[in-house]
Amino acid sequence: MEQEEEKIIASVDGSVGSLAVCEAAAWVASRLKRRLLLLHTLERRQQHGADDWSGTIGLGAQSELLERMAQLDQERGRLAMQYGKTLLTEAESRAMAHGATNVETLLRHGDFVEALVELEAQARLMVVGKVGTDHAGEFTALGSHIESLIRQVHTSILITGAQFTAPQSFMLAYDGRDTAERSLDRIIKGGLLAGLPCHLVMVGHHDTGHIDKFETATMRLKDEGYEVTSRLIDGGVTDSLLNYQRENDIGLLIMGAFAHSKVRHLFLGSNTIRMIQSSLSPLIVLR
């Protein structure tokens, strides 16, 4: 049986960031010439009331009220389904308007992280937004869901903000470990970033051994045709990378999330939230 081609899977929820997700996913799908799957999940709160009153209302005359509430839940579920279908239709149109040519949509029940985990076998790359409909203007609450997704899947994830502009350059955080070399391999073999100028940046590690590896990594990228700017910088990892990104107007930040890598610590706990929240550009977490 022929294996199904891996897709770009994007999760949309109707928030202001969903437009950026559609545009980012279309950019990825067109560059990689992959089919795009737009996913919308209907979580329980969208289909049912937030509270269960069945154990507190009592008996007798209260049963009529419970029945009416059940009818409202049914209507809410029907409207959520209709909304989801409409949202996906509009998302498909948006994606196609931004370069995607092969698009499908999927409406699922349940949590969006669980849905993406279940679909991972089909994914070449996933695209999600920073902030969902529940947390407009508030990143912290949704950030835990993004971190949960990063922990649970082994597919690279592109995280967008409220707007997306096709990047004209990218930055790779490098620390000289084996996992950093795997990040280089993913970039070179992946094809998504071909033709874009690369900023290869290492924070600290100014000893001879690390510098030799850094120079070798620079030459690897150059040998593959990348225009490379390599920089050794000092300071805290998070602040140093974000400052360099801002100062050089870098359109896409690439981070590794592999075991035992110093950079990986950015994706454990509060630093995850800060890195994704503070970045002025989209960010790809390589797995």
| Residue 205 within a domain | yes
In a domain, 210, yes or no: yes
Residue pair 160/24 in contact (Cβ under 8 Å)? The answer is: yes
In whole angstroms, give the CA distance from residue 104 to residue 39. Answer: 9
**In the predicted model, is pLDDT for residue 75 greater than 70?**
yes
Q: How do residues 161-219 score in pLDDT, each as one tens digit?
A: 889 999 999 999 888 877 778 889 989 988 999 999 999 999 888 899 999 999 999 99
Give a yes or no: residue 66 inside a domain. no
Q: Do 89 and 140 fall within a single domain?
A: yes
What is the domain extent for residue 147? Answer: 7-45+80-160
Concatenated DSSP letters of 109-120: ES-HHHHHHHHG
Distance CA 13, CA 6 (A): 22
26 and 141 inside one domain = yes
Tell whether the torsion through CA atoms of 25, 116, 15 and 163 is positive or negative.
Answer: negative
pLDDT digits (tens, 9 = 90+) for 123-138: 999 999 986 554 444 4
SS3 269: coil
User: Which CATH number do you get for residue 177?
Assistant: 3.40.50.620
Give residue 141's pLDDT band: very low, low, confident or very high (50, 70, 90). Answer: very low
Q: Are 87 and 143 in a shared domain? A: yes
Q: Are residues 266 and 155 in the same domain?
A: no
